[in-house]
Amino acid sequence: MRGRNEYVSGSTQAPYRLTSRASPSSSISPPYSPFNPSPSSPDGRRRSSAGLFRVIFVVLWNPLQCQPRHVEGMVCCYADKMLIPQFSASSNGKQFSSISSSFFSQVPPSTLFNSGPCQTVRRLKRAFVVRAESDYYSLLGVSKNATKSEIKSAYRKLARSYHPDVNKEPGAEQKFKDISNAYEVLSDDEKRSIYDKYGEAGLKGAGMGMGDFSNPFDLFESLFEGMGGMGGMGGMGGSRAARNRPIQGDDESYNLVLNFKEAVFGVEKEIEITRLESCATCDGSGAKPGTKPTKCNTCGGQGQVVSSARTPLGVFQQVMTCSTCNGTGESFTPCNTCGGDGRVRRTKRISLKVPPGVDSGSRLRVRSEGNAGRRGGPPGDLYVFIDVLSDPVLKRDGTNILFTCKVSYIDAILGTTVKVPTVDGMVDLKIPAGTQPGTTLVMAKKGVPFLGKPNTRGDQLVRVQVEIPKRLSSEEKKLIEELASLNKTKTANSRR
């Protein structure tokens, strides 16, 4: 990778340079369109009421030609729609026509590689796809200045609302994936910093657990996956092997409720989850045993379909993944057990070890216990969200435990020993003579273990509350009056 916006293929099969040119200092300025009202943004990114999108200039360069020639073009992407500009001839090769009402043409993208000086250019072996970037902050419904706590709270609320086990509406599962991905990025300081500066492309370019982008066309294919490809570009729609690659399963979640002591000392729980597991009948293929897959009749084996719509600006083309074969390019007789999905929902009991020191909001990750993947892909993970019930007597403050101890004014004056409840049971606590109301006494190492350090514990803080009686017997009142008289005499003598 060269710099922030340039990706160079190392393959001799595709000697091309792909460059994103959106800087205001570029020699080619992005033309005006309804989807690009302000074309001079430094990084080519636009924000609208529908989300964030990017204007990308694609430059294809063939170093094998004697005289340098290139083709410059623009691809506008908005709301997952791809707009293909019209070409016009010039002495230096193919250039885009000037802005007019017919700027967006119905000429297929293959024209870019089949016309004029581009006929000698080797065809690219891999595909690149363009789509709108996701705005992670908008997905979670938080501002860019949101704290980790606010992001976490928003994620938990949305994750529960859109979880496939709870929400059966179309698109709920995809929404769940999107918000989970957004949370994983924004909850990590390093990933969030990269995302704020460079967007999704920066995360992928940095290899932050979002795919292998060693090849620039793999970068585009993974970055903009979902629009299915740029149909008609001479084999640039992605290989069938790529479309049929194994897909990791979705993560599963479970809410676990613990009592106060279970959270403090940890516990081993047996939980029951419902998840997708590989179908034993078809061995996860989704096809009926004994049958063979055939070419999809809808897309002709391409895995994608192209739809066009005429507008006052020209013809808009949208490339989408084939809904019949889900982008595989193949059709098969579905398995009677799983209905063609290759997975079936089953219930499983799992033994879960909860470490000491967890609290409400803690999240435990159990690897490979999520939903099974597609086409032999690895399973997702299981995320267990902890909710701790409150104790009627003891209160928790991080790794410390708080308790209020009530003593009589006589015990506060003379001192005493009281029994105090702790998570370890009843413990004797000495109240020193002359203890003042509101005094806090420390019971060392009677608090909550540090998470990940079970042998290191916090303290229990005991706040002394001195009780003053509202009613006194005549004898008690007489004794207190004598004490008051004695105190006055003592005070008068001290002033002499």
pLDDT tens-place string over residues 394-422? 999 999 999 999 999 999 999 999 999 99
CATH architecture, range 136-216+226-287+337-388: Orthogonal Bundle (1.10)
CA dihedral 352, 353, 359, 361 (to 10 degrees): -30
pTM: 0.50
Average confidence score pLDDT of the chain: 72
DSSP code string of 24-65: TTSSSPPPPBTTBS-TT-TTSEEEETTEEEEEEEEEEE-TTS
CA angle 249, 146, 135 (to 5 degrees): 50
What is the spatial distance between Cα 57 and Cα 412, in angstroms, rounded to a whole number? 80
On the question of pLDDT at 15 being above 90, the answer is no
Q: At 488, is the secondary structure helix, strand, or coil?
A: helix
Q: At 312, is the secondary structure helix, strand, or coil?
A: coil
**395-467: CATH number:** 2.60.260.20
Burial class (CB in 10 A: 0-12, 13-18, 19+), 441: middle
- Could you tell me which of 199, 178, 355 has the C-alpha nearest to residue 251? 178
Give 255-293 pLDDT, tens digit per residue.
Answer: 999 999 999 999 999 999 999 999 999 999 899 999 988
- CATH 1.10.287.110-classified regions of the chain: 136-216+226-287+337-388
Report pLDDT for 426: 97
- CATH 2.60.260.20-classified regions of the chain: 395-467
Report pLDDT for 376: 86
Give all strands of the β-sheet with 395-397 in edge-to-edge order: 395-397, 400-408, 460-467, 440-443
